[in-house]
A = this chain, B = another copy of it.
């Protein structure tokens, strides 16, 4: 990996124009790594454009330069595409078409399912986040400032669930300690990312957690939501954080009806169960302990299929 860092560093220094992108369904690590990369390239006086398939969720608009992110791009040429936190080029959504026209793709990611689609691939599944890998790139390039630190902290913080997931290592805390030298305020970032909930959202959450369902072993817990509308605020994570408090539960599932016959299914798990494999069975993917998919059927049938599959799957593990 040492050579790859050097290869990327050399490529960045020798190139002039950059396209930056990340996966659809933007969250802290995707945006943090994009905006840290942007700030890094600007310090090197490069031309850089961030182009995303999806819009930036409002809770991340406190991140520096986030207003410059584009969701449309007129024809342009780039020397290098920096594709971040993206396991597969198709996860870049509509930006994928653009990538084929770029001379060199640099793929920086931490997903175990990464397909090595880049011309240069820096993939480290042991890293908590794409931002943790980018920190090391910055360290080697000897480039860091307040803005880069703020972006990287945000990505690490969100992808480790406030430093509580199994991906949190001594290296993660070492890096975060160094980032805090640059004036990062954990409280401020927490407030920005987590304290934008409206009263009505909290009531909606209250209703969901009062109606959780369990299998007979009480190891699987799920909620079915008849009408889900994406809000500015990431309610999915909040609901999971509630469900995670439950004693003894190993798999958590949310079934969200997005529209007729379109059910978004999110999975979270304790280390004993690999929900990446579960999601893959249903055409989706993600991480060992956090994954998702979309199933084209009605709510009841999605619930039945998925829960019975997980029951069989977890039984096999015993």
Residues of A within 8 A of B (CB): 162-166, 168-174, 176-178, 180-181, 185-187, 190-191, 194-199, 202-203, 205-207, 209-210, 212, 214, 238, 242, 244-247, 249, 270-271
Given A162-B162, A165-B186, A196-B247, 9 extra CB contacts under 8 A: A162-B164, A164-B190, A173-B177, A174-B174, A191-B270, A203-B210, A205-B209, A206-B209, A207-B210
* A212 and B199 within 8 A (CB): yes
Chain B residues contacting A169 (CB-CB under 8 Å) are 180
Chain B residues contacting A164 (CB-CB under 8 Å) are 162, 186-187, 190
Measured between C-beta atoms, what is the minimum distance from A65 to chain B in Å? Answer: 24
* Copies of this chain held together in the complex: 2
* A170 and B163 within 8 A (CB): no
- Given contacts A178-B170, A186-B168, A187-B271, A247 and B197 within 8 Å (CB-CB): yes
Chain B residues contacting A186 (CB-CB under 8 Å) are 163-166, 168
* A206 and B202 within 8 A (CB): no
A181's contact among B166, B170, B194, B207, by CB below 8 Å, is which? Answer: B170
- Given contacts A173-B176, A187-B164, A190-B164, A238 and B245 within 8 Å (CB-CB): yes
Measured between C-beta atoms, what is the minimum distance from A234 to chain B in Å? Answer: 10
Chain B residues contacting A196 (CB-CB under 8 Å) are 245, 247
Complex Cα distance A271/B195, Å?
14
Measured between C-beta atoms, what is the minimum distance from A85 to chain B in Å? Answer: 21
A-B contact pairs, 18 of them (CB 8 A): A162-B162, A163-B163, A163-B186, A166-B185, A168-B187, A170-B181, A173-B177, A195-B244, A196-B247, A197-B246, A198-B246, A199-B214, A202-B210, A202-B242, A203-B209, A203-B210, A205-B242, A207-B210
Chain B residues contacting A177 (CB-CB under 8 Å) are 170-174, 177
* B247 and A198 within 8 A (CB): yes
Chain B residues contacting A168 (CB-CB under 8 Å) are 186-187
Complex Cα distance A165/B194, Å?
13
* B199 and A246 within 8 A (CB): yes
Complex Cα distance A206/B210, Å?
6
* B170 and A173 within 8 A (CB): no
Chain B residues contacting A199 (CB-CB under 8 Å) are 212, 214, 246
Measured between C-beta atoms, what is the minimum distance from A148 to chain B in Å? Answer: 16
Measured between C-beta atoms, what is the minimum distance from A239 to chain B in Å? Answer: 11
Chain B, Cβ-Cβ closest to A248: B195
Measured between C-beta atoms, what is the minimum distance from A140 to chain B in Å? Answer: 19
What are the 9 closest A-B residue pairs judged by CB atoms, nearest first? A173-B177, A170-B180, A197-B245, A206-B210, A162-B162, A164-B190, A206-B206, A174-B177, A166-B187
